[in-house]
Amino acid sequence: AITIGILEIQGAFLEHRVALTNASQLLGNNVKLQITDVRTPDDIKEEIDGLIIPGGESTTISIYLRRNGLEQPLKQWIQTERHVTWGTCAGMILLSKMTDNQKIGGQTSLAIMDTEVSRNYFGRQVQSFEADIRIKDEQLKEIIQNDTFPGIFIRAPAIVKTLNEEVSILATVPDQISNTDVIVAAKQGNVISTAFHPELTEDCSWHLYFLRHVINNKI
């Protein structure tokens, strides 16, 4: 069995549960999925194999984490090699070492990924929208069976800079305003982040991708 924890403080966590369950059905019969919620330091158990940090509002979530003594145990859990973490939207912001309004993280975020994010990159342009993102990763292309995916963006961030080669780009989206491709999904070691909300699309490929990482990492 594999156990996935979902940080259930605020935001779209129910949808993640549904998508995980759907994705697990594509894994075959011998994989049993358990989902557990993470709200207190005691919930951050060593036995959890994978963790999802959902979207919401990153300032609110980071204040909650600090006040409830979750920040340090979470950070430690994420940095344990056996564990796989996936942050969506606000989760991406929390995982990033740098953001545009708070250079050098660590204080108000988990500061794990060597990325710089712009917290409301797309929010400046339009509150929410759907756009075809371009998949850059071969394994993802195989799972999605396409090189694009319908991304749902809600006041979404974007990765404006990767700080070193350890960060690999999983997907980009063409940005009309700057006329460039911006990074909306990345991976560094066992940590994945996406700016859009794959839990809001019927296609559960991203959850399947995450679960496969969790399984491969556990073996």
Looking at 16, 89, 204, 213, which residue is catalytic? 89
Using alpha carbons only, how large is the chain's radius of gyration in Å? Answer: 16
Q: Does 175 bind ligand GLN (CB under 6 A)?
A: no
Catalytic, 197? Answer: yes
Q: Does 117 bind ligand GLN (CB under 6 A)?
A: no
Catalytic, 81? Answer: no
Sign for the pseudo-dihedral over CA of 196, 197, 203, 205: positive
Q: Given the rule CB under 6 A, which of 55-63, 131-139, 182-190, 203-211 is the region that contacts ligand GLN?
A: 55-63
Which residue in 10, 79, 120, 146 binds ligand GLN (CB under 6 A)? Answer: 120
Q: Does 201 bind ligand GLN (CB under 6 A)?
A: no
Catalytic, 204? Answer: no
The answer to whether residues 111 and 78 touch, using CB atoms and an 8 Å cutoff, is: no
- As a three-state string, the secondary structure of 90-113 is HHHHHHEEEECCECCCCCCCCCCE
Report, in Å, the least distance between residue 31 CB and ligand GLN: 29
Of 157 and 198, nearer to ligand GLN (C-beta) is 157
Number of residues that this document lists for the chain: 219
Question: Cα separation of 156 and 130, whole Å?
Answer: 11
Catalytic (active-site) positions: 89, 197, 199
